[in-house]
Protein backbone atom coordinates (compact mmCIF):
# COMPACT_ATOMS: atom_id res chain seq x y z
CA UNK A 1 0.00 0.00 0.00
CA UNK A 2 2.89 2.38 0.67
CA UNK A 3 4.03 2.12 -2.95
CA UNK A 4 0.47 2.66 -4.17
CA UNK A 5 0.10 5.75 -1.98
CA UNK A 6 3.39 7.12 -3.33
CA UNK A 7 2.20 6.61 -6.89
CA UNK A 8 -1.16 8.23 -6.11
CA UNK A 9 0.60 11.25 -4.64
CA UNK A 10 3.00 11.52 -7.58
CA UNK A 11 0.28 11.30 -10.22
CA UNK A 12 -2.05 13.72 -8.48
CA UNK A 13 0.75 16.30 -8.10
CA UNK A 14 1.76 15.87 -11.72
CA UNK A 15 -1.77 16.82 -12.83
CA UNK A 16 -2.27 19.67 -10.38
CA UNK A 17 -4.49 17.96 -7.82
CA UNK A 18 -2.50 19.27 -4.88
CA UNK A 19 -5.10 18.82 -2.13
CA UNK A 20 -5.71 15.18 -3.01
CA UNK A 21 -1.95 14.61 -3.39
CA UNK A 22 -1.46 15.95 0.12
CA UNK A 23 -4.04 13.48 1.43
CA UNK A 24 -2.05 10.66 -0.18
CA UNK A 25 1.21 11.99 1.28
CA UNK A 26 -0.28 12.10 4.79
CA UNK A 27 -1.63 8.56 4.43
CA UNK A 28 1.75 7.30 3.13
CA UNK A 29 3.59 8.87 6.05
CA UNK A 30 1.07 7.41 8.47
CA UNK A 31 1.39 3.98 6.83
CA UNK A 32 5.10 3.92 7.64
CA UNK A 33 4.20 4.18 11.34
CA UNK A 34 0.98 2.18 11.45
CA UNK A 35 -0.71 0.48 8.49
CA UNK A 36 -3.94 0.12 10.47
CA UNK A 37 -4.01 3.82 11.30
CA UNK A 38 -3.33 4.72 7.66
CA UNK A 39 -6.22 2.54 6.55
CA UNK A 40 -8.55 4.25 9.00
CA UNK A 41 -7.33 7.61 7.69
CA UNK A 42 -8.06 6.61 4.08
CA UNK A 43 -11.50 5.32 5.10
CA UNK A 44 -12.87 8.82 4.71
CA UNK A 45 -15.25 10.61 2.33
CA UNK A 46 -12.34 12.75 1.08
CA UNK A 47 -10.96 9.58 -0.47
CA UNK A 48 -14.09 7.87 -1.76
CA UNK A 49 -17.16 10.14 -1.87
CA UNK A 50 -18.06 13.19 -3.87
CA UNK A 51 -16.66 14.94 -6.90
CA UNK A 52 -13.58 16.21 -5.04
CA UNK A 53 -12.62 12.81 -3.61
CA UNK A 54 -9.27 11.24 -4.45
CA UNK A 55 -11.03 8.35 -6.19
CA UNK A 56 -13.08 10.77 -8.32
CA UNK A 57 -10.09 12.43 -9.95
CA UNK A 58 -10.02 11.74 -13.69
CA UNK A 59 -6.46 12.18 -14.89
CA UNK A 60 -7.46 11.58 -18.50
CA UNK A 61 -9.73 14.62 -18.31
CA UNK A 62 -7.10 16.65 -16.42
CA UNK A 63 -4.51 15.77 -19.04
CA UNK A 64 -6.61 16.62 -22.08
CA UNK A 65 -7.26 12.96 -22.95
CA UNK A 66 -3.70 12.46 -24.17
CA UNK A 67 -2.51 8.85 -24.36
CA UNK A 68 -0.17 9.48 -21.40
CA UNK A 69 -2.99 10.96 -19.31
CA UNK A 70 -5.22 7.98 -20.07
CA UNK A 71 -2.44 5.59 -19.02
CA UNK A 72 -1.85 7.61 -15.86
CA UNK A 73 -5.58 7.44 -15.11
CA UNK A 74 -5.37 3.66 -15.34
CA UNK A 75 -2.35 3.64 -13.04
CA UNK A 76 -4.20 5.82 -10.52
CA UNK A 77 -7.21 3.49 -10.53
CA UNK A 78 -4.98 0.41 -10.12
CA UNK A 79 -3.25 2.06 -7.16
CA UNK A 80 -6.62 2.89 -5.56
CA UNK A 81 -7.66 -0.75 -5.99
CA UNK A 82 -4.48 -1.78 -4.15
CA UNK A 83 -5.15 0.72 -1.36
CA UNK A 84 -8.65 -0.58 -0.81
CA UNK A 85 -7.48 -4.21 -0.97
CA UNK A 86 -5.06 -3.44 1.85
CA UNK A 87 -7.82 -1.73 3.81
CA UNK A 88 -10.07 -4.77 3.41
CA UNK A 89 -7.23 -7.06 4.40
CA UNK A 90 -6.89 -5.14 7.65
CA UNK A 91 -10.64 -5.20 8.27
CA UNK A 92 -11.36 -1.59 7.28
CA UNK A 93 -14.43 -1.66 5.04
CA UNK A 94 -16.08 1.14 3.10
CA UNK A 95 -19.16 0.49 0.92
CA UNK A 96 -18.43 3.42 -1.41
CA UNK A 97 -14.81 2.32 -1.87
CA UNK A 98 -16.07 -1.18 -2.61
CA UNK A 99 -18.33 0.18 -5.37
CA UNK A 100 -15.69 2.45 -6.83
CA UNK A 101 -12.94 -0.17 -6.91
CA UNK A 102 -15.33 -2.68 -8.50
CA UNK A 103 -15.98 -0.14 -11.24
CA UNK A 104 -12.26 0.56 -11.60
CA UNK A 105 -11.63 -3.17 -12.09
CA UNK A 106 -14.23 -3.26 -14.88
CA UNK A 107 -12.67 -0.23 -16.56
CA UNK A 108 -9.16 -1.64 -16.27
CA UNK A 109 -10.23 -4.98 -17.74
CA UNK A 110 -11.72 -3.11 -20.72
CA UNK A 111 -8.65 -0.80 -20.93
CA UNK A 112 -10.60 2.35 -20.06
As a whole number of angstroms, the distance between CA 25 and CA 34 comes to: 14
- Going residue by residue through the chain, which has 112 residues, state the pLDDT in tens, using 9 for 90 and above: 999 999 999 999 999 999 999 999 999 999 999 999 999 999 999 999 999 999 999 999 999 999 999 999 999 999 999 999 999 999 999 999 999 999 999 999 987 6
- Stated as kind and residue range, the H or E segment containing 71 is helix 67-89
As a whole number of angstroms, the distance between CA 4 and CA 81 comes to: 9
pLDDT of residue 48: 98
pLDDT of residue 111: 77
Amino acid sequence: METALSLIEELLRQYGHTYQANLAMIARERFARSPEEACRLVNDPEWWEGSDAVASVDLALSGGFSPEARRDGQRLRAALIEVYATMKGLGVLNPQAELMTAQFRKWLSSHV
